[in-house]
Amino acid sequence: MPENSKQPSDALAIAKTAGVSLNPLDPTSRFNASKLKQFTNTEIVIAFILFVTLVILAVFGTFLQTHDPMQGDLLKRFAKVGEKGYLLGSDHLGRDLWSRAVAGLQWSMACALTANVINLLIGTSLGLMAAEKEGWARTIIRQFTDTLQSFPFLVVAIVVVVIVGHGFVPLVLTLGLGAWVVFMRVVYAEATSIYQRDYVKAARIAGVSRSAIMFGHVLPGVRASLFVIFAFHFAGLLIAESALSFLGIGAPLGVPTWGNMLAESRQYLLKAPWMLMVPAGAIVLAVITMNLVGDGIASLSRKRGRSIDV
Amino acid sequence: MSSVAENAPNSAGAKTTGQDLLTGLIPLLLQLRKLAWLIFAVTTLLFFVLRQAGDPALVLAGNDATPEQLAAIRAQFGLDRPLIIQYFSYMWNVLQFDFGKSLASAEPALGKVLDMVPRTLHLAGMAILLTATIAIPLGSWLGFKPENPERRAVSGFLFVMQGVPGFVTALVLIQVFAVNLRWLPSLGYEWFEPKTWVLPTCSLASFLFPSLTRVVAANVAEAMREDYIRTARANGASQSALLWKHAVPNALLGAAALIGTQFAALLGGSAIIETIFSWPGMGWLLLESVQTLDFPVVQALAFMIAIMVFTVNACTDLVFRFLDPRLRTKGA
pLDDT tens for each residue of A22-32: 443 343 433 34
Same structural domain, B201 and B282: yes
Residue B258: pLDDT band (50, 70, 90) is confident
Chain A CB contacts of B142 below 8 Å: 36
Same structural domain, B60 and B203: no
What CA–CA distance (Å, rounded) separates B183 from B181? 5
| Closest Cα in chain A to B168 | A280
Same structural domain, B127 and B271: yes
Q: Say how many domains are in chain B.
A: 2
Q: Is residue A15 part of a domain?
A: no
Same structural domain, B239 and B91: no
Q: Is residue B104 part of a domain?
A: no
Residue B250: pLDDT band (50, 70, 90) is confident
Q: Is residue A6 part of a domain?
A: no
What CA–CA distance (Å, rounded) separates A12 from A291? 12
What CA–CA distance (Å, rounded) separates B113 from B107? 10
Tell me the shortest Cα–Cα distance from B192 to chain A, in angstroms: 27
Counting residues of chain A whose pLDDT is more than 90, the rounded percentage is 16
CB interface of A with B, residues 126-145, below 8 Å = 143
Chain A CB contacts of B167 below 8 Å: 243, 246, 262
The CATH number that applies at residue A243 is: 1.10.3720.10
**How far is the CA of B252 from the CAs of B46, B132, B139, in angstroms?**
38, 10, 10
Q: Is residue A66 part of a domain?
A: yes
**How far is the CA of B38 from the CAs of A145, B46, B205, B289, B318, in angstroms?**
11, 12, 28, 21, 20
The answer, yes or no, to whether residue B5 has pLDDT greater than 80, is no
Tell me what pLDDT residue B329 has: 54
Of the listed ranges A122-131, A271-280, B8-17, B62-71, the one predicted with least confidence: B8-17
Domain span at residue A211 reads: 42-303
Residue A7: pLDDT band (50, 70, 90) is very low
Domain span at residue B67 reads: 14-95
Residue B313 CB partners (closer than 8 Å, separation 6+)? A5, A6, A7, A150, B31, B260, B264
Q: Does A17 touch chain B (CB under 8 A)?
A: yes
CA dihedral B219, A285, A123, B218 (to 10 degrees): 0
Let me know: does A1 contact B198? Beta carbons within 8 Å. Answer: no
What CA–CA distance (Å, rounded) separates A157 from B192? 33
What CA–CA distance (Å, rounded) separates A80 from A99? 15
Q: What is the CA radius of gyration of chain A?
A: 22
Q: Is residue B126 part of a domain?
A: yes
Q: Is residue B204 part of a domain?
A: yes
Same structural domain, B91 and B203: no
Q: Does A85 touch chain B (CB under 8 A)?
A: no
* Amino acid symbol at A305: G
The answer, yes or no, to whether residue A241 has pLDDT greater than 60, is yes
Same structural domain, B290 and B312: yes
Tell if the CB–CB gap between A154 and B34 is shorter than 8 Å. Answer: no
Tell if the CB–CB gap between B218 and A2 is shorter than 8 Å. Answer: no
Question: Which of the listed residues B57, B72, B95 is the one where a domain comes to its end?
Answer: B95
Question: Which of the listed residues B95, B119, B149 is the one where a domain comes to its end?
Answer: B95
CB interface of A with B, residues 52-71, below 8 Å = none
Q: Say how many domains are in chain A.
A: 1
Q: Is residue B240 part of a domain?
A: yes
Buried b (16+ CB within 10 A) or exposed e, B199-209: bbbbbbbbbbb
Same structural domain, B31 and B82: yes
Chain B CB contacts of A236 below 8 Å: none
Tell if the CB–CB gap between A17 and B267 is shorter than 8 Å. Answer: no
Q: Does A157 touch chain B (CB under 8 A)?
A: no
Same structural domain, B49 and B115: no
Q: Which of B151, B168, B277 to mutate to probe the A interface, most A CBs <10 Å?
A: B168
Let me know: does B256 contact B228? Beta carbons within 8 Å. Answer: no
The answer, yes or no, to whether residue B331 has pLDDT greater than 60, is no
- Write out the H or E segment, with its range, that includes residue A24: none
Q: Which of A36, A40, A268, A284 to mutate to probe the B interface, most B CBs <10 Å?
A: A36
pLDDT digits (tens, 9 = 90+) for A38-58: 556 777 888 889 999 899 888
Q: Is residue B8 part of a domain?
A: no
Question: Which of the listed residues B65, B95, B125 is the one where a domain comes to its end?
Answer: B95
Of the listed ranges A4-13, A40-49, A120-129, the one predicted with least confidence: A4-13
Q: Is residue A261 part of a domain?
A: yes
Tell me the shortest Cα–Cα distance from B218 to chain A, in angstroms: 6
Tell me what pLDDT residue A283 has: 92
Residue B283: pLDDT band (50, 70, 90) is confident
Could you give the residue ranges of the DSSP H alpha helices within B174-247? 195-224, 227-234, 239-241
pLDDT digits (tens, 9 = 90+) for B127-166: 999 999 998 888 888 888 777 788 888 888 888 888 888 8
Q: Is residue A10 part of a domain?
A: no
Let me know: does A210 contact A201? Beta carbons within 8 Å. Answer: no
Tell me what pLDDT residue A127 has: 93
Same structural domain, B125 and B226: yes
Same structural domain, B71 and B199: no
Tell me what pLDDT residue B47 has: 84
Q: Is residue B286 part of a domain?
A: yes
Same structural domain, B118 and B81: no
The CATH number that applies at residue B312 is: 1.10.3720.10
Tell me the shortest Cα–Cα distance from A141 to chain B, in angstroms: 14
Tell me what pLDDT residue A187 has: 92
Comparing CB atoms, the residue among B172, B254, B301 nearest residue A31 is: B254
Q: Is residue A27 part of a domain?
A: no
Tell if the CB–CB gap between A154 and B271 is shorter than 8 Å. Answer: yes
Q: Does A42 touch chain B (CB under 8 A)?
A: no
Between residues A296 and B28, the one the model is more confident about = A296
| Residue A33 CB neighbours (<10 A) | 13
Tell if the CB–CB gap between A159 and B302 is shorter than 8 Å. Answer: yes
The answer, yes or no, to whether residue A115 has pLDDT greater than 90, is yes
Same structural domain, B263 and B123: yes
For residue A200, the SS3 value is: helix
ipTM, 2 dp: 0.79
- Read off the DSSP letter of residue B245: I
